[in-house]
Structure 1
Amino acid sequence: MSSSAPARGRRGRRAPEGPRASFRQLFPFLLEHKGTLVVVGVLSILGAGATLVQPLLVGQVITRVQQSVPLGALVWLLVGFVVLSSLISGYQHYLLQRTGTAVVYSSRRRLIARILRLPISEFDARRTGDLVSRVGTDTTLLYAVLTQGLADAVGNALILVGAIIAMAFIDPLLLGLIVLVLGASIATVGILSTRIRTASAAQQAKVGELASGVERAVGSIRTIRAAGATEREVATVTGAATEAYDAGVRIARVSALIVPVAGIALQVSLLVVLGVGGFRVASGAIDVASLVTFVIFLFLLVQPLASAIGAITSVNQALGALGRIQEVLDLPLEEDDDRPGPTAGPTDAAAIEFRDVRFRYPDHVVKAREAAAKEARSVLAQAHLDRAADETTAEVSDDAHEVLRGVSFTVPRGSRVALVGPSGAGKSTVLSLIERFYDPTAGAILVDGVDARQLPREALRARFGYVEQDAPTLAGTIADNLRLASPDATDADCARVLRAVNLGDVLERSPLGVDAPVGEDGVMLSGGERQRLAIARALLAAPPVLLLDESTSSLDGVNEQRMREAIDAVATGRTLLVIAHRLSTVVDSDLIVVLEHGRVAGQGTHSELVASVPLYRELAKHQLLV
């Protein structure tokens, strides 16, 4: 594959720290469950009422006992309110747990739908593991928003206000002292909470880096083992885990300052009430029943405050995670006009035409590649591969400039055209532009005589069967892979295309036939078989144009010849644009376009290019074709 293509998103990029979210950004997630939240709010009001009545009933019980008055049904009324508030609390807890789970589910659904529709440039600029972390770890933290203090804020607020009003009636002086103590604790928590949110966002970014490192190492485990690089990879991934741990410790330090605040506030408040309140009882300002009632209201006052203080860490962590989630949700989708574009141009138009096309990768992709190269250079330098490190840096430096520089060529309908040239010439970038993974910086690409930018992407891509050099094999069955672009294909259709690309023996390995599993990343198939499976997938869709990027690079001589025969068989009535390093596979093409440093060095038939283009002649000599 041409080195002009950007490095994969899973290699070497540092996970960007997302912006911190605000409570306002939580509203879209909460409004999806507004019906349940209304019920929770009503239960909170009822529960608050049942809770606030209890201290008053306790005071009445004490007064009657002091006055030797029969309690009557007062005790049973108190027990009834205790049971009622407990039942309301239990059902409210269930609703909050269920709604919290639903919020996590809906956020994951939105993230998945967004990620899979992002422009290709975003995948080229981001690490795969970091995106996976946002779907998994970050969304899980949203659970705390509903289950740890936010959704039942209505009930807590009512208890807080009700307790303050009742305490004001019992003894304003005692209440004033309590407000001073609790006010100081609340101010302290408010200052520390901003630090938690910042530290949480940093921690989630580090977790994303860790996920990316694990994904990269596990995905390349055979290469790592064969290169004797296991210990270096362990050190690298462990380093990412250490950074995530350090970020978590920073959160723990701040939390350690917050948690005692609630305990200190409660202890000091209780001591103040007992000390000053006892003096007030002795002086006759209030009676014992009023003091006991005041103490119970104090606990009711402190309980929602303590709950809120304890929830600050969890909620701020959730807001830090929400910032990373929102960052992805705010990314633009792959643009496509809703307006219907022209479906076809002149009947005699070329299948594909490049007109003075220039292309440079977007700045954020270039910066990501530079960061990846810097990290790769560090790893190579540690392994004392200084020359490879220098070549890595030089390659990225070249890619920072234009990849295609005024490329023009034509692919007539029904013809077979080959793109050849050294690595880094821009061959794979040509196919990426045809598929509109990117749009040209300048110039135009015509498909059937129509500017590709005027065609809806889905309609445009339906015209092509695109086979990447390293086309992935999806975990699942052979049929799952084949039906990716042809979901209605029958088992007979799948078997037919498999035999067409010399994969008939794969069907005979298992009694399951096309339903045989291929393993993770196609590990149960050889490299050549995975490549032929990708070609079979493209053939099954029967597109008018096939785009093949190094489609025979992993095949031996026998299978390469059979593959050429299969392609020859399906090429009738179709247009082929083929990238190849092996000139032997394209010498009989109708047209060969030679690319060098992003420019067309020459085009023509094999014999014409051998006579007129020094670069092509040199390539042909190295492959013993001259």
Structure 2
Amino acid sequence: MSVPAPARGRRGRRAPEGPRASFRQLLPFLLEHKRTLVVVAVLSVLGAGATLAQPLVVGQVITRVQNSVPLGALVWLLVGFVVLSSLISGWQHYLLQRTGTAVVFSSRRRLIARILRLPISEFDARRTGDLVSRVGTDTTLLYAVLTQGFADAVGNTLILVGAVIAMAFIDPLLLALIVVVVGASLAVVVLLSTRIRAASAEQQQKVGELSSGVERAVGSIRTIRAAGATEREVAAVTENATAAYAAGVRIARVSAFIVPIAFVALQVSLLVVLGVGGYRVASGAIDVASLVTFVIFLFLLVQPLASAIGAITSVNQALGALGRIQEVLDLPLEADGDRAGSTPSVPDAAALAFREVHFRYPDHVVKAREAAAAEARSVLAQVHLEPAAEDDAAGVVEDDREVLRGVSFEVRRGARVALVGPSGAGKSTILSLVERFYDPTEGAILVDGVDARDLARDDLRARFGYVEQDAPTLAGTIADNLRLATPDATDADCERVLRAVNLGDVLARSPLGVDAPVGEDGVMLSGGERQRLAIARALLAAPPVLLLDESTSSLDGVNEQRMREAIDAVAAGRTLLVIAHRLSTVVDSDLIVVLDKGRVVGQGTHSELVASTPLYRDLAKHQLLV
């Protein structure tokens, strides 16, 4: 049976909710750019010094004016500090912007490298759009950590500490009142920020669901239009967008409390300073110059406090997104295992052999498929249709969910072996196990007499040319698709295999030849042409064994016959394992293996099976072959 794609943007299903990230998990992303951050920190120190010096110079200017003392170079000194702090701020801003962009790039690079090396089971259990969203949207939030949060905090902290120390020297009583007001507001902000992190994680999850919905709808747009389902799909995707909007509103609602709290804290602090400070000037406790200097230092606190509040918000949003990023980075990669190595082949052994193979999909894949099946039934119910029996069979097989049950057969070198049986029998799963997209739950698969688990996956897959049932075509050119496994193939090689599979007319359509584009998902080719292109790609790699999964299902009678002739031509000296519903394409096979509900119910030639296996005889009768 083939593996359905429950991960490809199904409406109404929630993405797996990853754990929330901690600030410690954010540090590796920042420490990759520690040299730049050190430069930023040095600039922050210099900028903080130039900023803190300005109120002190202003105080001296006021004192000299009161005492009718010439200002001398104080004015120029003040101008110099202002210009210096401005230049440092601009340079620091550039470095932070560049580093923020670099952090996003490095996180995307790590995610891409991880996603493309994940086990196939993860793709069967997850939605494509959600994974794409983590690479695009989630990583973007890390940018704010540097540009609005963490790195800026270095200089702002110095300004904050320096201002507080200076204010303590000027008037400890006024400072104590300010600390009470500001401390209370910051406590409320920190409390609210925890809700922002949770809401941000939810928003990113909803954005992932939205991406999945859009990817699903766009990828099936012709089917949707033909079925008159455009409005329903618009409503479904809009529902995902609405959920993302609602989560964003919750973030805005919490953030809306933070802004007035900061504003009120500033206003109350200023009123306290003016009221109490004016009284202390009148009483002679401090002079006017000291009060003015204190007020300037108070205003210097505004930027660090605003940055601190912004940092709390942006860092918590980033941690919400980082949780989703880290979830993918923590997933195990597709690994060969300790047994894999360069084990020599066994002379005269079968090219491929199954020995009492049992298989069931991992629990997380089963759950995803069950959810997909439930959703499919719901969609069919909306249009008053019942699921086909074979669709049910393609889902979960019986209660123990075993897909293969004690499968045993051999494919001798140079032989042509066919797998036949009803939908859901386990045929495509057998090819998935041969390619080691999964490993058997029990039993063993031998390749040239060696257990497949004792071979490195790359070495194993190099022995097979695999043509999938859906014949996927990559966006790009004909040559891009053909050279996927053989990047060094020449144009002449590409043209040769294209003509071998009766695709010479495709070359004649465009003066670009093999460089002609095929469109997104091969939309510029017919279904049969996409299948033949996939077969040509496998033939170009010239593997010793060809695995063909329903390779002629989209071909008409004429092209099917030509395809059979092409395969016959290239099959000389190769081994073929073929899956087909059309028995006419496999009646001349050396061995036909009949599968039903994950079990082998018959093996032999066409004539032998017609006589011995009722299921095969029924299939042959329905196709007028007996």
Q: Same fold (TM over 0.5)?
A: yes
Aligned-partner SS, 2:235: helix
Aligned-partner SS, 2:395: helix
Asked whether the equivalents of residues 342 and 456 of structure 2 are also in contact (C-alpha less than 8 Å), the reply is no
CA distance in 1, matches of 2:375, 2:179: 55
1:216 match: 216
2:378 is the alignment partner of 1:378: yes
User: In the TM superposition, what whole-angstrom CA distance separates every residue of 1:333-380 from its partner, at most 9, and x where no partner exists?
Assistant: 001247762443221000000000000000000001111122222222
User: In the TM superposition, what whole-angstrom CA distance separates every residue of 1:61-94 from its partner, at most 9, and x where no partner exists?
Assistant: 0000000000000000001001000100010000
Asked whether the equivalents of residues 380 and 389 of structure 1 are also in contact (C-alpha less than 8 Å), the reply is no
2:118 match: 118
2:65 is the alignment partner of 1:65: yes
Distance 1:11 1:272, change over 3 A: closer
**What RMSD in Å do the two structures reach over aligned CA positions?**
1.3
CA distance in 1, matches of 2:25, 2:360: 35
2:49 match: 49
CA distance in 2, matches of 1:507, 1:127: 35
1:162 match: 162
CA distance in 2, matches of 1:248, 1:374: 29
Distance 1:390 1:160, change over 3 A: farther
1:522-561 → structure 2 map (5 Å cutoff): 522-561=522-561
**Residue type of the alignment partner of 2:552:** T
2:564 match: 564
2:416 is the alignment partner of 1:398: no
1:33 match: 33
User: In the TM superposition, what whole-angstrom CA distance separates every residue of 1:242-275 from its partner, at most 9, and x where no partner exists?
Assistant: 1101111111110011111111110000000000
Aligned-partner SS, 1:358: strand
Asked whether the equivalents of residues 452 and 460 of structure 1 are also in contact (C-alpha less than 8 Å), the reply is yes
**Residue type of the alignment partner of 1:359:** F
1:108 match: 108
1:476-495 → structure 2 map (5 Å cutoff): 476-495=476-495
CA distance in 2, matches of 1:252, 1:353: 61
**Residue type of the alignment partner of 2:55:** P
Aligned-partner SS, 2:149: coil
1:174-213 → structure 2 map (5 Å cutoff): 174-213=174-213
Shift of 1:392: 5.6
Distance 1:366 1:272, change over 3 A: same
Asked whether the equivalents of residues 19 and 201 of structure 1 are also in contact (C-alpha less than 8 Å), the reply is no
CA distance in 1, matches of 2:9, 2:549: 21
2:283 match: 283
1:230-379 → structure 2 map (5 Å cutoff): 230-337=230-337, 341-379=341-379
Asked whether the equivalents of residues 377 and 392 of structure 1 are also in contact (C-alpha less than 8 Å), the reply is no
User: In the TM superposition, what whole-angstrom CA distance separates every residue of 1:49-70 from its partner, at most 9, and x where no partner exists?
Assistant: 1111110000000000000000
Shift of 1:318: 1.1
CA distance in 2, matches of 1:341, 1:49: 62
CA distance in 1, matches of 2:334, 2:92: 42
Asked whether the equivalents of residues 376 and 389 of structure 1 are also in contact (C-alpha less than 8 Å), the reply is no
**Residue type of the alignment partner of 2:309:** I
Shift of 1:395: 5.0
CA distance in 1, matches of 2:221, 2:424: 27
1:9 match: 7
Aligned-partner SS, 1:91: helix
User: In the TM superposition, what whole-angstrom CA distance separates every residue of 1:23-63 from its partner, at most 9, and x where no partner exists?
Assistant: 11111111111110000000000001111111000000000
User: In the TM superposition, what whole-angstrom CA distance separates every residue of 1:384-407 from its partner, at most 9, and x where no partner exists?
Assistant: 22x228986675342761000000
Aligned-partner SS, 2:198: helix
Query: 529-538 or 334-343, which moves further after superposition?
Result: 334-343
Query: 33-42 or 369-378, which moves further after superposition?
Result: 369-378
**Residue type of the alignment partner of 1:567:** I
Asked whether the equivalents of residues 594 and 600 of structure 1 are also in contact (C-alpha less than 8 Å), the reply is yes
User: In the TM superposition, what whole-angstrom CA distance separates every residue of 1:480-502 from its partner, at most 9, and x where no partner exists?
Assistant: 00000000000000000000000
**Residue type of the alignment partner of 2:3:** A
CA distance in 2, matches of 1:564, 1:429: 24
Asked whether the equivalents of residues 6 and 372 of structure 2 are also in contact (C-alpha less than 8 Å), the reply is no
CA distance in 1, matches of 2:46, 2:373: 61
1:508-527 → structure 2 map (5 Å cutoff): 508-527=508-527
Aligned-partner SS, 1:292: helix
Aligned-partner SS, 2:511: coil
CA distance in 2, matches of 1:551, 1:392: 20
Query: 309-318 or 52-61, which moves further after superposition?
Result: 309-318
Asked whether the equivalents of residues 343 and 454 of structure 2 are also in contact (C-alpha less than 8 Å), the reply is no
CA distance in 2, matches of 1:187, 1:206: 30
**Residue type of the alignment partner of 2:213:** G
Asked whether the equivalents of residues 351 and 447 of structure 1 are also in contact (C-alpha less than 8 Å), the reply is yes
CA distance in 1, matches of 2:417, 2:376: 36
CA distance in 2, matches of 1:125, 1:62: 71
2:427 match: 427
Shift of 1:447: 0.2
**Residue type of the alignment partner of 1:486:** T
CA distance in 2, matches of 1:10, 1:100: 31
Shift of 1:148: 0.1
Shift of 1:313: 2.1
CA distance in 2, matches of 1:480, 1:87: 50
1:578 match: 578
1:461 match: 461
2:623 is the alignment partner of 1:623: yes
Asked whether the equivalents of residues 500 and 566 of structure 1 are also in contact (C-alpha less than 8 Å), the reply is yes
CA distance in 1, matches of 2:305, 2:277: 22
CA distance in 1, matches of 2:268, 2:155: 25
CA distance in 2, matches of 1:340, 1:600: 29
Aligned-partner SS, 1:345: coil
CA distance in 2, matches of 1:490, 1:562: 24
- How many residues are treated as equivalent by the alignment? 623
User: In the TM superposition, what whole-angstrom CA distance separates every residue of 1:501-542 from its partner, at most 9, and x where no partner exists?
Assistant: 000111111111100111111111111000000000000000
Distance 1:223 1:345, change over 3 A: same
Asked whether the equivalents of residues 498 and 536 of structure 2 are also in contact (C-alpha less than 8 Å), the reply is yes
CA distance in 2, matches of 1:106, 1:552: 43
User: In the TM superposition, what whole-angstrom CA distance separates every residue of 1:141-174 from its partner, at most 9, and x where no partner exists?
Assistant: 1100000021021211111111111111100100
**Residue type of the alignment partner of 2:172:** P
2:443 match: 443
Query: 95-104 or 400-409, which moves further after superposition?
Result: 400-409
User: In the TM superposition, what whole-angstrom CA distance separates every residue of 1:288-311 from its partner, at most 9, and x where no partner exists?
Assistant: 000000001111123201111123
Aligned-partner SS, 1:336: coil
1:417 match: 417
User: In the TM superposition, what whole-angstrom CA distance separates every residue of 1:117-154 from its partner, at most 9, and x where no partner exists?
Assistant: 00000000000000000000011111000000210212
Aligned-partner SS, 1:445: strand
Query: 96-105 or 308-317, which moves further after superposition?
Result: 308-317
Asked whether the equivalents of residues 9 and 209 of structure 2 are also in contact (C-alpha less than 8 Å), the reply is no
2:387 match: 388
2:613 is the alignment partner of 1:613: yes
Asked whether the equivalents of residues 584 and 625 of structure 1 are also in contact (C-alpha less than 8 Å), the reply is yes
**Residue type of the alignment partner of 2:290:** S
**Residue type of the alignment partner of 1:61:** V
Query: 336-345 or 488-497, which moves further after superposition?
Result: 336-345
Shift of 1:411: 0.3
Aligned-partner SS, 1:424: coil
Asked whether the equivalents of residues 6 and 365 of structure 1 are also in contact (C-alpha less than 8 Å), the reply is no
